[in-house]
Amino acid sequence: MTTDTQKHEGSMSTAAPARAPHGDVPTAHKTPEGRVGAGLFDPKQLVTSLPDAFRKLDPRVQVKSPVMFVVWIGSVLTTVFSVKDPGDWFGWAISAWLWLTIVFANLAEAVAEGRGKAQADTLRRAKTDTVARRLIEDGSEERVPGTELRIGDLVVCEAGDVIPGDGDVVEGVASVDESAITGESAPVIRESGGDRSAVTGGTKVLSDRIVIKITTKPGETFIDRMINLVEGAARQKTPNEIALNILLASLTIVFLLAVATLPPFADYAGTHLTMVVLVALLVCLIPTTIGALLSAIGIAGMDRLVQRNVLAMSGRAVEAAGDVSTLLLDKTGTITLGNRQACEFVPVRGVTEAEVADAAQLSSLADETPEGRSIVVLAKEKYGLRERHQGELTDAEWIAFTAQTRMSGVDVDGRKVRKGAAGSVIAWVKERGGEVAEDAQELTGEISEAGGTPLLVAVEDTDGARVLGVIHLKDVVKDGMRERFEELRRMGIKTVMITGDNPLTAKAIAKEAGVDDFLAEATPEDKMALIKREQAGGKLVAMTGDGTNDAPALAQADVGVAMNTGTSAAKEAGNMVDLDSDPTKLIEIVEIGKQLLITRGALTTFSIANDVAKYFAIIPALFAAVYPGLDKLNIMRLSSPDSAILSAVVFNALIIIALVPLALRGVRYRPVSADRLLRRNLGIYGLGGLIAPFIGIKLIDLLISLIPGIG
């Protein structure tokens, strides 16, 4: 990234997207028209997702989930036995509700996938087959279909052209409309060199002319990858999800063995358990609730990121975000506003503040940087100076800033005014035989130690060359950053600020912002070393970046969030891309990752607790007739064995559909310690999972008992 020491007047932060001067900058959560992104559950999605839910009854789909595959086999068996005995209403009822259990489980996944498909449809509308103006070796152009472009081809785009493929701007600068990708109506600036050179196929050039070097093959563009990811075609099970599947499969095998031992005991006791009853018992005891919702939870987690305009390249990255313990945050544009602002004019001895303000404003009239504009405004607002304009001074000679002189200014009315880096201005004064005030160096040192950037202001007139004072430029920390870092601290996450500033400036900003640590004068090698050091201690690390020099660190980090405004190398190296190019989004990504893990854990707890309650519903009702002592465990006083089993099966199916909104929306995350979070979830979802079946099964039993010939 561009460091803060490269210029005395600081360039615009490359961490944030450069907006064209016109157009509003919308909120970060704005999505393209037509994009389905409401975080809350929409009941209408149930209807539109039903066909997919029935298509997923295919055994080749069901076998991917061990728990639901067992339910599918049980449904087939009960259906077969019901066909053999058409008059058995109980068998038909159990079969119907077992099939509904699978359909409801499929529906949860279909609804989650349906939202992704709606987003993919929006992206497909952005993907157009365009004609590209490809440059050939002699400098002339040839028109070819965008699908024929290959890596390394150079194409020309002018105002009104749709960019035919992903690439980097290698010549020129232009305003680009990326609303089809990011949903933001404000155009952004794309230019050759630096970290704002990447462009995406399907976006539109609004002004000027640029030459683009194609960096991807047709069919592998950014939009193509987004479509595959949001549709779920590229979603792979994460390590956490695989581990939970193994646990659920193990529990299923345990309960399968337990149920298989019941027929001999029943025969010995003089009663008989039919295959329908055994299947119903097995389905009620295995963790069907979490087995049904597990896939939907993972898909919904990635969907929540897409709603915030973050594209996760894998579910593994989302999970890793939930376990992150160290956050590396770039200072410029993330912690601070990105543009230093003038906050005061400090005169040397014998000079008034008004004199410094007048000279500082005069030397900044031609300075169009945010820092230069802030100097003009400060002189006007604090010292009452009229805001002069460059055009008023017709006889003025403006001195532009260069990397060699590190100064800028103006020659007008027999005076020469300069502002710039302390060393350069002092050398300029001495070259003209002037004297430098003794306290000039002292003032610049004090401002540097306070975390500011000092710019000396000097003048040469009839009285000779001399330093008038110092302009204090200050990085402005964004509102609420200290509170957000305190929130992260409560989550057990360490924050590290990365900056190109000197250690004194970095320390002052870190203290004001409230970060835990900082890395000053950071180079790409320093970032890599820091990440490896944290990982060696068993920690997961997340960081943001947008430049080619950030690519190694993004690839090394467990969660690497690349800015969409950044280079192609950065986006390839990271495992997430923030379409809004807002580096503070990393904090939200961590929260979404934690919410995903908490939701999965909470519903697993609820599901297992459910099984305990269903045990008390079915087992006593089955064996109370032959073992009267078991009747004491029939605390729900269910009306009959058949009603008890059917009520448990019905509840088992209905609880899945009832929990779909929670699986899609996610359990609310609060930044508290792990032990408090565990107690809270055990209290709500553990205790709730125990109580809910008792109430639900009893109510269903009462309704069933009212049906003539059944109760």
Binding site, by residue number, is 367, 371, 401-408, 419, 546, 550
Burial of 156 from C-beta contacts in 10 A (0-12 / 13-18 / 19+): middle
List, edge to edge, every strand of the sheet that includes 494-498: 310-312, 576-578, 559-563, 541-545, 326-330, 494-498, 517-519
Binding-site residue positions for Mg(2+): 546, 550
Is 330 in the active site?
A: yes
Q: Which residues contact 302 (CB under 8 A, 6 or more apart)?
A: 116, 229, 230, 235, 312, 315, 318
Contacts 24+ apart (CB under 8 A), 238-242: 238/298, 238/314, 238/315, 238/316, 238/318, 238/319, 239/316, 239/319, 240/319, 240/597, 240/600, 241/294, 241/298, 241/315, 241/319, 241/600
Going by their DSSP bridges, the two strands 541-545 and 464-474 should be labelled as unpaired
Q: Which residues contact 250 (CB under 8 A, 6 or more apart)?
A: none
Q: Which amino acid is at 202?
A: G
Encode 614-638: b = buried (16+ Cβ within 10 Å), e = exposed.
bbbbbbbbbbbeeeeeeeebbebeb
User: Going along 29-140, which residue ranges are E strands?
Assistant: 131-135
Q: How far apart are CA 176 and CA 209, in angstroms?
A: 11
Binding-site residue positions for ATP: 367, 371, 401-408, 419
Going by their DSSP bridges, the two strands 310-312 and 415-420 should be labelled as unpaired
Burial of 354 from C-beta contacts in 10 A (0-12 / 13-18 / 19+): middle
3-state helix, strand, coil in the chain (%, to 5): 50, 15, 30
Do the beta carbons of residue 191 and residue 11 sit within 8 Å? no
Catalytic residue among 153, 195, 303, 330: 330
What residues are annotated to the active site? Answer: 330
